Amino acid sequence: MKDSNSIIANAKETILLESNAIANLSNLIDQNFENSVKFILNSKGRVIITGIGKSAIIATKIVATFNSTGTPAIFMHAADAIHGDLGTIQENDVVICISKSGNTPEIKVLVPFIQNYGNKIIAITGNPDSFLGTNADFCLNTYVEKEACPNNLAPTTSTTAQLVMGDALAVCLLHLKGFTSKDFAKYHPGGALGKRLYLRVSDLIKTNEKPLVQKNSSITDVIVEITEKRLGVTAVVENETIVGIITDGDIRRMLTKNESFTSLKAQDIMSENPKTISINAMAIDALETLENFDITQILVTDDNQNYMGVVHLHDLIKEGIF
């Protein structure tokens, strides 16, 4: 029990220590941050992000965040840079150097070469008075009082602070660029996230059957249509326009109320004015409609309100959206 309590206490201490350090970052944001964002925004080149050790790992994450939010970025390892990779840096590129101490040997060697190329340097460092901090064009202070490591050695709190500063840059640039969810979808076409952003109702109904009956169709025809099309529903149409809907639930309720249905027609058991969705709507909007009205299917129409097909909850599940 003592060991268990110790583990939980250590975890909470780590989280609180890092969260307090992150909260303090807001006090360190100054004109250097604003100038850095504006310079990146107006730059005609890319953002080259470099570091060594754990800072290099953080740099790769910031690169990924920049790229996914519309700011072209490339990772360059600080050690590899002075052994051939300096060619990564082009004339109009902005270089972000990440280093907790700002005095690592590789950074001290690298910075003068970048300056010789004429590229601007943005420092992300916990020590603004360091070699990196004083030689950079803009210095973003990520000072932390203490690492979460009990020996105050392993980069923990400091790397979290670096990561958050990178996120702050990316989000500010995103706002200034007017980056929208449609733009985001361009860079995230794969997986469930991408599908939520670009998949439309028209994509969902391509392989579905199109169940339909007329107002005067017999109940037998209705049952056959629902069964054969396997969507648990059929539209009732007149001149290609939806006038009603019949679900398999409507069929069951009819059977409990009527001993014979031979004289009944589709119009006798259909629900009028059913919920519909545009064929051009996003798939995520179809899901929201199904959830809001607690239904499992919805009829699809085109711009002229002509019946186009059915979206079923299973279509959304199959695509990984639900």
Residue 127 placed within a domain:
yes
Residue 192 placed within a domain:
no
d(CA 201, CA 224): 26
Q: Are 291 and 171 in contact (CB under 8 A)?
A: no
Does one domain contain both 154 and 17?
Answer: yes
Does one domain contain both 160 and 225?
Answer: no
Residue 226 placed within a domain:
yes
Residue 195 placed within a domain:
no
pTM above 0.85, yes or no: no
Does one domain contain both 84 and 172?
Answer: yes
Q: What is the CATH number of the domain that holds 165?
A: 3.40.50.10490
Residue 187 placed within a domain:
no
Does one domain contain both 125 and 234?
Answer: no
Residue 214's region, left for phi above 0, alpha for psi from -120 to 50, else beta, is beta
Half-sphere exposure of 48 (CA within 13 A, CB side): 24
Does one domain contain both 159 and 21?
Answer: yes
What Cα–Cα distance (Å) separates residue 261 from each residue in 202, 247, 255? 36, 16, 8
Residue 211 placed within a domain:
yes
pLDDT value of residue 127: 97
Q: Domain range holding 114?
A: 2-179
Domain end, chosen from 134, 149, 179, is at 179
Does one domain contain both 159 and 303?
Answer: no
Residue 141 placed within a domain:
yes
Does one domain contain both 24 and 157?
Answer: yes
Q: What is the CATH number of the domain that holds 256?
A: 3.10.580.10
d(CA 150, CA 167): 27
pLDDT value of residue 93: 97
DSSP assignment, residue 87? Answer: G
Domain end, chosen from 179, 210, 242, is at 179
Q: Is 77 annotated as a binding residue?
A: yes
Does one domain contain both 128 and 93?
Answer: yes
**What is the full per-residue pLDDT of the chain (322 aa) written as tens digits?**
457 778 999 999 999 999 999 999 999 999 999 999 999 999 999 999 999 999 999 999 999 999 989 899 999 999 999 888 999 999 999 999 999 999 999 999 999 999 999 999 999 999 999 999 999 999 999 999 999 988 888 999 999 999 999 999 999 999 999 987 777 766 666 665 666 667 899 999 998 999 999 999 999 999 999 999 999 999 999 988 999 999 999 999 998 887 788 889 999 999 999 999 999 999 889 999 999 999 999 999 999 999 999 999 998 888 887 6
Does one domain contain both 36 and 158?
Answer: yes
Residue 279 placed within a domain:
yes
Quick check: helix, strand or coil at residue 277?
A: strand
Number of domains in the chain: 2
Domain end, chosen from 128, 149, 179, is at 179
Does one domain contain both 213 and 152?
Answer: no
Instruction: With CA atoms as reference, report the closest residue to 144 among 24, 257, 277, 321.
Output: 24
> For 281-319, how does the pLDDT look when each residue is reduced to its tens digit (9 = 90+)?
998 899 999 999 999 999 999 999 999 999 999 988 888
Torsion of CA 79, 85, 91, 94, to 10 degrees: -40
Does one domain contain both 169 and 233?
Answer: no
Does one domain contain both 10 and 45?
Answer: yes
